[in-house]
């Protein structure tokens, strides 16, 4: 349990495009790290999953300083199966919020970080699209969407940066200072 005087910083992560990529299209993803079935409307679909390079190191290293949560627009069942691969012992990721925890407007799903009931000054969220957190854009660090490139080093670069960030009194000020332009570029 965290204490009142030293709130643990919170790291909120999207799955697809940020930590993993997956496809139900056969042959779309070669060398999948894992394959599982997801059920949808009475049918079972094979999902081929790939892990972003350095994701294990990223999670293991940052779970020491952050309380890590997944907040995804994906369905709960699908998210749980991805977590079975990413964190089979459930030691790194504490909570998993999914599509049913999202707000739905204009047919799209949006995430509201306040659902986590954590101090927003101590919360940082990674996602490839800003649409993830419309009301908490200040907490958002855009991460280029990963499509399966094995040479990707984005997560590796983020480890020291997130390490420094958790020392800030208000992470939002620090995020604004460090990413003045990226925010504009990352929209996809």
Of 38 and 92, CB closest to another protein: 38
Handedness of CA 11, 162, 22, 113 (dihedral sign): positive
Shortest Å, Cβ 114 to another protein: 19
Residue 140, φ and ψ in degrees, nearest 5: -100, 130
Shortest Å, Cβ 172 to another protein: 26
Contact between 140 and another protein per CB under 8 A: no
55-62 vs 154-165: helix crossing angle, rounded to 10: 10
Of 72 and 139, CB closest to another protein: 72
Contact between 12 and another protein per CB under 8 A: no
Shortest Å, Cβ 49 to another protein: 12
- State the Cα–Cα distance between residues 123 and 171, nearest whole angstrom: 7
Shortest Å, Cβ 175 to another protein: 23
Question: For residues 158 and 58, is the Cβ–Cβ distance under 8 A?
Answer: yes
Binding site for another protein (CB under 8 A): 16-17, 22-25, 38-45, 47, 72-75, 78, 99-100, 102, 104-109, 131, 188
């Amino acid at each position: 349990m965290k204490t009142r005087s030293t709130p643990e910083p919170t790291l909120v992560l999207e799955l697809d495009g940020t930590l993993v990529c997956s496809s139900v299209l056969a042959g779309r993803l070669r060398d999948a790290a894992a394959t599982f079935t997801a059920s949808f409307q009475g049918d079972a679909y094979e999902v081929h999953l790939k892990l972003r390079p350095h994701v294990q190191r990223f999670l293991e290293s940052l779970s020491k300083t952050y309380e890590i949560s997944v907040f995804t627009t994906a369905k709960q069942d699908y998210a749980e199966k991805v977590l079975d691969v990413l964190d089979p012992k459930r030691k790194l990721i504490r909570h998993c919020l999914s599509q049913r925890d999202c707000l739905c407007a204009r047919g799209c799903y949006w995430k509201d970080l306040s659902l986590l009931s954590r101090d927003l000054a101590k919360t940082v969220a990674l996602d490839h699209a800003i649409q993830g957190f419309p009301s908490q854009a200040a907490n958002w660090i855009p991460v280029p969407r990963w499509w399966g490139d094995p040479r990707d080093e984005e997560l590796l670069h983020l480890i020291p940066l997130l390490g420094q960030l958790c020392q800030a009194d208000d992470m939002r000020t620090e995020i604004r200072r460090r990413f003045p332009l990226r925010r504009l570029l990352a929209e996809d």
